[in-house]
Amino acid sequence: MSILYGFYEADSGEIRINGEPVRIRSSREAISHGIGMVHQHFMLVPPLSVLENVMLGAEGGPLLAEGAGLIRKRLAELGREYGLEVNPNAIVGELSVGLQQRVEILKALVRGADILVLDEPTAVLTPAEADQLFEMLRVLKGERKTIIFITHKLREIMSLTDRVSVMRRGEMVATFDTDKTSPPELADAMVGRKVILKIDKGPAHPGRIALEARNLVVRDDRGVVRVDGVSFILREGEILGVAGVAGNGQSELLEALAGMRPPSAGEILVDGELLTHVQSNPRAERLIGIGHVPEDRHRVGLIMPFEACESAMLGFHQERVYGRGMLFDRRAIIADAQSKMKAFDVRPPSPLLKTANFSGGNQQKIVLAREIERNPKILLVGQPTRGVDIGAIEFIHKRIVAQRDAGKALLLVSVELDEIFALSDRIIVLCAGRITGERRPEDTNAQDLGLLMAGVSERAA
């Protein structure tokens, strides 16, 4: 797709648009051929307004005033036609992710794109936003636009596409008509072998209460209350799933439990003992047996330019096994990383490779290995399979279940409902920082949880 949008030039082969062979050497040429791209990481300038972002590169003259009126009008038209309303004066950085994506799509449409390429567009969206996006894309399809939709979510392929091609290791391995294929068939093609989408998992045997939260209140950096009086218990030998639309307090809850963000009110009890203020930091929590797989491995979980063996001991680097006093025992560190990589099937198993050079799935395995091999009593897991390929997802899910079977208490925060369903023994749903309901996966379904996620609480319903 980068080649299609002029980031790179193909070494060989050709691109044809409407049957005409074309050469695309830059993004400018791609745009002029009517290709519009919605990147996974938005190509927006956050401090600028929506209008300015849309205008950038299509100003219509050396002075902004001339083009601004035209583009403003065009935005209003597109807004009406496709249900893509955005306030043109809003600052992009202050918009929700869903709206930012809308701005990206508008950028492409204003430039007259006929072929729209979307790279993993739903990875950052809430389910409701994703539904809106699909609605919009269907309208665009009706307007005779061509849409290339890149995703690894089977459900999206099935619900949205007409044809689907499966790409594996740089090759198109299969192409199907969507209505003549099935999710298992696609999954097979994606990994090249049979995948069990359903996890084999026996009944849970919950034991003592390992972790308890009482009326937790957590504020974000701006002082906004994100977790608003949340209480729950987590027992040994069970997986408690925390479901919810992204941005409803799950991240802050996880951060508070992991000691990264002190709660402004409420109590956290570990093994029935109140977690003191002094203990409420990630290092102290690790020492009392709380492992944490953070939601964002790039930002929090790993240091990308570090060697894998260094990333594999982050947070535990002060332990004796890694060296004495101020000096590290390099050999011990590498040996430790090697054994972790072996245990978690990290590929390539090279402790000296830079962390950034591993795929997302393998990076995630490094984080999991680091936290799990320390044998914590409680494991807090945030978005364990975000941006992870399907083969690694299966592996990671199995490991999480194995931890439960070993009697650990696991808290799973995920925005993937499938994941919550597949792994959890109990599910709590957060909406606007409050728990709107608790369910057992066997007693509920996506619609039911959807209602809870939308804030229709049991009492209100």
Q: Which residues bind another protein (CB under 8 A)?
A: 2, 5, 7, 26-31, 37, 39, 43-48, 52-53, 55-59, 61-65, 67, 107
With a CB cutoff of 8 Å and minimum separation 6, the contacts of 15 are 3, 4, 21, 22, 23, 24
Q: Which is nearer to another protein, 47 or 223 (CB)?
A: 47
Shortest approach of another protein to residue 2 CB, angstroms? 5
Q: Which is nearer to another protein, 52 or 238 (CB)?
A: 52
* Ordered DSSP codes for 163-190: EEEEEETTEEEEEEEGGG--HHHHHHHH
Q: Which is nearer to another protein, 48 or 136 (CB)?
A: 48
Q: Is the dihedral of CA 278, 284, 290, 293 positive or negative?
A: positive
CA distance 380 to 84: 38
CA distance 34 to 113: 4
Shortest approach of another protein to residue 71 CB, angstroms? 12
Q: How far is residue 221 from each of residues 23, 238, 433, measured CA to CA in Å? A: 48, 32, 15
Q: Which is nearer to another protein, 2 or 175 (CB)?
A: 2
Shortest approach of another protein to residue 124 CB, angstroms? 16
CA distance 453 to 335: 45
Six token digits for residue 198: 């359903």
Shortest approach of another protein to residue 67 CB, angstroms? 8
With a CB cutoff of 8 Å and minimum separation 6, the contacts of 251 are 226, 295, 382, 413
Shortest approach of another protein to residue 48 CB, angstroms? 6
Shortest approach of another protein to residue 27 CB, angstroms? 5
Shortest approach of another protein to residue 34 CB, angstroms? 13
Beta bridge partners of 15: 22
Six token digits for residue 61: 């003259």
Q: Which is nearer to another protein, 56 or 446 (CB)?
A: 56
Six token digits for residue 416: 């993937």
| Beta strands in 135-283, from DSSP E residues, in sequence order | 146-150, 163-168, 171-177, 209-219, 225-235, 238-243, 265-270, 273-274
* Ordered DSSP codes for 419-451: HHHHH-SEEEEEETTEEEEEE-GGG--HHHHHH
Shortest approach of another protein to residue 26 CB, angstroms? 7
Q: How far is residue 450 from each of residues 253, 394, 415, 458, measured CA to CA in Å? A: 20, 24, 12, 13
Q: Which is nearer to another protein, 117 or 125 (CB)?
A: 117
Q: Which is nearer to another protein, 67 or 206 (CB)?
A: 67
| Beta strands in 222-370, from DSSP E residues, in sequence order | 225-235, 238-243, 265-270, 273-274, 290-293
Six token digits for residue 423: 């792994």
| SS3 at position 418 | helix
Shortest approach of another protein to residue 362 CB, angstroms? 19
Q: Which is nearer to another protein, 31 or 187 (CB)?
A: 31
Shortest approach of another protein to residue 92 CB, angstroms? 10
- DSSP class of residue 38 equals E
Q: Which is nearer to another protein, 180 or 222 (CB)?
A: 222
Shortest approach of another protein to residue 394 CB, angstroms? 27
Q: Which is nearer to another protein, 58 or 209 (CB)?
A: 58
Q: Which is nearer to another protein, 13 or 47 (CB)?
A: 47
Q: What angle do CA 438, 412, 257 make, to 5 degrees?
A: 95
